Structure 1
Amino acid sequence: MRAGSPRMLREINDRAAIEALLRAGPLTRSELEVAIGLSKPATAQLLTRLEQEKVVGKAGERGGGRGPRAQLWAVNGGLAHVVAVDLTPHLADFVVADVAGTVLAEYQVRLPVHEGADVVGTFGEALRHVTAAAGLRLADLANVVIGAQGAFDPRTGLLSSAPHIAGWLGFDVPARLSEELGIAVTIENDVNLVAVEEMSEGKAQHVDDFVMVWLSEGVGGAVVIGRRLLRGATGGGGEIDWMRVPDPATVDTGDQWPEAGARFGNLVDSPAVTRLAKAHGITAEAGWDAVNQAKSLPDNGFLDDLARRVAGGIASLVAVADPQLILLCGETSRAGGEEFAANVAEKLHALVLPRTPVGVASVQGNAVRAGALQSALATAREDVFGVVTPTLLGSRRPAGGTPSAALPTE
């Protein structure tokens, strides 16, 4: 087929129209004309063709003031369905959506994750429950994406750095689930999925390179270069928890760090933050509670010390990647807000040459589940419509290759 042939041009225009409808939701014909740059007759022919192929359909009307009502067009969401899951030790949060992104059902359930638990069986039961609630069967699902607190090696299918969900360790997770359920299942690091959602709906929509740092009960990170997640050879890209860094705190917290330095995660996870707060005279049960208390105290010094710790870990990433933006997320980061982010930026700029801005992630609600849904939809849309969104694709296991060394476990 020659470049520029009528068939190729139709395919290009069709994909452009589908992308516009997926991005903006139902559109009138005139709105679609503007979005894809086609003439009125060409757009009408395109919509007729896509309607005949059941790719798009009429989706109600929009009032036009005193004039006639305009027909709305939308992608046929029933062409494929996906499931996204946020898997934590406390709760599994499921959502079912059609390929247009319309949510059909949600389900939250506590699943056993301890060593020896039937994690595959109980996960399958929960998946069947939420799928049935959406009026579907498992066979109707195009794919399932799971976000988990750990590092996933796409070459081996193994999770690591996840002692909190011990039952999910030691086996090829996507292969086992895919075989048992008869559906394509992928698994992704939770902070990577938060980065996906931030690229889709948050402050990183128009940023090519950024680093995300998760500060909560535990610590995690994600690195995006050229709007692609940097997963690394073994899935360890962004696993900043394991970095060895010095402790720049100005008070004695009673911790005895090894000569090589403390693990970054042991400096800024919730227990570490509460110990640091206690050394400054603040008693709190969680790191974010300590930050909230400190915000109302004059010149306590705790937030400065915490900012120094966070900046000390981020500095290595900034020195290597020189990103356009650092985004802090997680409960501790949200408690600190933009004022704490500015404090981190000040401490960071004393350590590295780039003057990278630091902010707080803007996505609300369950960003892990939302990012998993974006990833699942991207894969389904590529398969159904040929619409490719490389940034949002879930981790697909590379064909062949020699497995690299696995990440360490606790």
Structure 2
Amino acid sequence: MRAGSPRLLREINDRAAIEALLRNGPLTRAELEGIIGLSKPATAQLLTRLEEEGTVLRDGLRGGGRGPRAQLWTVNGALAHVAAIALTPDAVDVVIADISGATITEHRAPMPRTGVLEAFHSAVTKAAAQAGLTTDALHHVVVGSPGAVDPTTGRLNYAPHMPDWENKNIPEELEALLDTPVTVENDVNLVALEEMIAGRAVGVRNFVLLWPADAVGAAVVVNGVLLRGATGGAGEIDAMRVPDRAHAETGTDRAGSRYGDLLDSASVARLARAHGVSARSGQVAVEKALSAGPAGREFLVDLARRVATGVANVVAVLDPELVLLSGEIAQAGGTTLADLVAAELRRLVVPRTPVELALVTGKPVRSGALHSALSVVREQVFGLPAATTEPFRGPNQQGATAPGTST
């Protein structure tokens, strides 16, 4: 064997143990031994070495039964901290976690129409203080935002609904404010990442995720990697011109309307009213339609026609394995709406692409941002493989290898 081989083997075994602890939580020596396949003495030596380095900690005892209680081991979460942020025109939603993934604190603050950088800085600073940290002690911050950051200029494009964020090098300015590395990622891309980690896209190599909302967004994954395009705008389909194939008349341009204008909340509510389903928002309209009898069904079919017409353009070009529907309107419609979209899609394109409801709910943008931040920091601290994404990074990371790439 080469002189360096024993050390290399130790590093491989250490990474395997750390990865097992991160994935499964606190483990006994015997449990860890079973997962990584080492002998009892080798596993004991590994844990002793990692404990001396401060990488793992003892975490109580697991008892029960007639035998002695077993020592539990866990990753030392204090080795690094990250922040994940979901940014919208109305709010900034922050979570801070340690490198083990344990949430330390959460903070949500309103986003004003002006002075957005100051408001952003204040929110993250407050969240960090709640965690007993300063912003420069955060090892990495990932921000999920509407629109897309141009990798050349750092400017936020495709986001006219984000006032006061235009004409700024967003990653550069956020890094200067927080004094720590920052990644800015499209919000729907982060939802797709979360679906790849913990949702319906686990093991799916090629798929499209659509988020019908006031600004329609889509994420495109090809061969397991997010597709961003030359200016970061891949999947920004809100401005795409599509005909309105809904049967009910709501005053739209039948020949070709802005896709986003057909699926925003107000437009969906108008379509519902045209079918006799009255609601104050698109989400509520879809919820009511599920129990509104034939009128509700006709409205949902019309809505599915609108969704499918835009999706058909994407499917015809990419031929994905799967289309996922996410967001409040999609979740409100559930599998009923997804099935109706699939039926309409089959009338428009040759591929019989399945259409399913995204599995991750709650705060999927923030969850995706957290997984992305943890992936970056675990690569830096533990040498674990990072997620196969290539987000735009700020000046503190220029020249660094993006996750999933090689130099």
Query: Do both share a fold (TM > 0.5)?
Result: yes
Indicate if the aligned counterparts of 2:243 and 2:253 stay in contact, CA closer than 8 A.
Answer: no
Q: CA deviation at 1:394?
A: 4.1
Which of 381, 384, 388 is matched with 2:381 structurally?
Answer: 384
Indicate if the aligned counterparts of 1:376 and 1:393 stay in contact, CA closer than 8 A.
Answer: no
CA displacement 1:87-107 (0-9 Å, x = unmatched):
112221111110111111111
Q: SS at 1:390's partner residue? A: coil
CA displacement 1:283-333 (0-9 Å, x = unmatched):
222111111222223332211111111111111222222222211111111
Query: What is the rounded CA distance, in whole Å, between the counterparts of 1:318 and 1:377 in structure 2?
Result: 32
Which of 256, 266, 274 is matched with 2:261 structurally?
Answer: 266
> What does 1:85-164 correspond to in 2, within 5 Å?
85-112=85-112, 114=113, 117-164=114-161
Could you tell me which residue of structure 1 aligns to residue 5 of structure 2?
5
Could you tell me which residue of structure 2 aligns to residue 294 of structure 1?
289
Aligned residues with identical type, % of pairs:
56
Q: SS at 2:188's partner residue? A: helix
Indicate if the aligned counterparts of 2:226 and 2:390 stay in contact, CA closer than 8 A.
Answer: no
Could you tell me which residue of structure 2 aligns to residue 42 of structure 1?
42
Residues 311 and 3 (structure 1 numbering): CA distance in 2 closer, same or farther, change over 3 Å? farther
Give the TM-score, by structure 1 length: 0.91
CA displacement 1:7-65 (0-9 Å, x = unmatched):
11111111111111111111111221222222222211211111111111111121242
Which of 207, 210, 220 is matched with 2:207 structurally?
Answer: 210
Amino acid in structure 1 at the alignment position of 2:184: I
Indicate if the aligned counterparts of 1:82 and 1:97 stay in contact, CA closer than 8 A.
Answer: yes
Which of 234, 237, 240 is matched with 1:240 structurally?
Answer: 237
Residues 126 and 399 (structure 1 numbering): CA distance in 2 closer, same or farther, change over 3 Å? closer
Which shows bigger deviation, 146-155 or 379-388?
146-155
Indicate if the aligned counterparts of 2:278 and 2:285 stay in contact, CA closer than 8 A.
Answer: yes
Query: What is the rounded CA distance, in whole Å, between the counterparts of 1:256 and 1:33 in structure 2?
Result: 65
Q: SS at 1:45's partner residue? A: helix
CA displacement 1:132-191 (0-9 Å, x = unmatched):
110112221101111112222222211112222211111101101212321111211111
Query: What is the rounded CA distance, in whole Å, between the counterparts of 2:243 and 2:364 in structure 1?
Result: 31
Query: What is the rounded CA distance, in whole Å, between the counterparts of 2:299 and 2:201 in structure 1?
Result: 29
Query: What is the rounded CA distance, in whole Å, between the counterparts of 1:347 and 1:223 in structure 2?
Result: 21
Amino acid in structure 1 at the alignment position of 2:264: D
Query: What is the rounded CA distance, in whole Å, between the counterparts of 2:234 and 2:276 in structure 1?
Result: 37
Amino acid in structure 2 at the alignment position of 1:264: Y
Question: Given the alignment of the two structures, is residue 190 of structure 1 paired with residue 184 of structure 2, yes or no?
Answer: no
Query: What is the rounded CA distance, in whole Å, between the counterparts of 1:149 and 1:248 in structure 2?
Result: 27
Amino acid in structure 1 at the alignment position of 2:365: V
Gaps of 5+ in 1: 401-410
Which shows bigger deviation, 235-244 or 74-83?
235-244
Residues 4 and 39 (structure 1 numbering): CA distance in 2 closer, same or farther, change over 3 Å? farther
Question: Given the alignment of the two structures, is residue 365 of structure 1 paired with residue 365 of structure 2, yes or no?
Answer: no
Could you tell me which residue of structure 1 aligns to residue 171 of structure 2?
174
Indicate if the aligned counterparts of 1:374 and 1:392 stay in contact, CA closer than 8 A.
Answer: no
Query: What is the rounded CA distance, in whole Å, between the counterparts of 1:215 and 1:399 in structure 2?
Result: 34
Q: SS at 1:167's partner residue? A: coil
Query: What is the rounded CA distance, in whole Å, between the counterparts of 2:368 and 2:54 in structure 1?
Result: 28
Query: What is the rounded CA distance, in whole Å, between the counterparts of 1:48 and 1:209 in structure 2?
Result: 43
Query: What is the rounded CA distance, in whole Å, between the counterparts of 1:73 and 1:399 in structure 2?
Result: 36
Could you tell me which residue of structure 2 aligns to residue 333 of structure 1?
330
Query: What is the rounded CA distance, in whole Å, between the counterparts of 1:2 and 1:271 in structure 2?
Result: 68
Query: What is the rounded CA distance, in whole Å, between the counterparts of 2:318 and 2:81 in structure 1?
Result: 37
CA displacement 1:46-87 (0-9 Å, x = unmatched):
111111111111111212422111111111111110111111
Query: What is the rounded CA distance, in whole Å, between the counterparts of 2:20 and 2:194 in structure 1?
Result: 19
Q: SS at 1:135's partner residue? A: coil
Amino acid in structure 1 at the alignment position of 2:143: I
Query: What is the rounded CA distance, in whole Å, between the counterparts of 2:372 and 2:389 in structure 1?
Result: 5
Q: CA deviation at 1:4?
A: 7.8
With a CA cutoff of 8 Å and minimum separation of 6, indicate the structure with the bigger relative contact order. 1
Q: SS at 1:284's partner residue? A: coil
Q: CA RMSD in A?
A: 2.0
Indicate if the aligned counterparts of 1:211 and 1:327 stay in contact, CA closer than 8 A.
Answer: yes
For these two proteins, the number of residue pairs brought into alignment is: 395
Q: SS at 1:65's partner residue? A: coil
Q: SS at 2:270's partner residue? A: helix
Could you tell me which residue of structure 2 aligns to residue 21 of structure 1?
21
Question: Given the alignment of the two structures, is residue 285 of structure 1 paired with residue 280 of structure 2, yes or no?
Answer: yes
Indicate if the aligned counterparts of 1:216 and 1:333 stay in contact, CA closer than 8 A.
Answer: no
Which 4+ runs in 1 deviate beyond 6 A?
A: 397-400
Could you tell me which residue of structure 2 aligns to residue 408 of structure 1?
none
Query: What is the rounded CA distance, in whole Å, between the counterparts of 2:347 and 2:181 in structure 1?
Result: 47
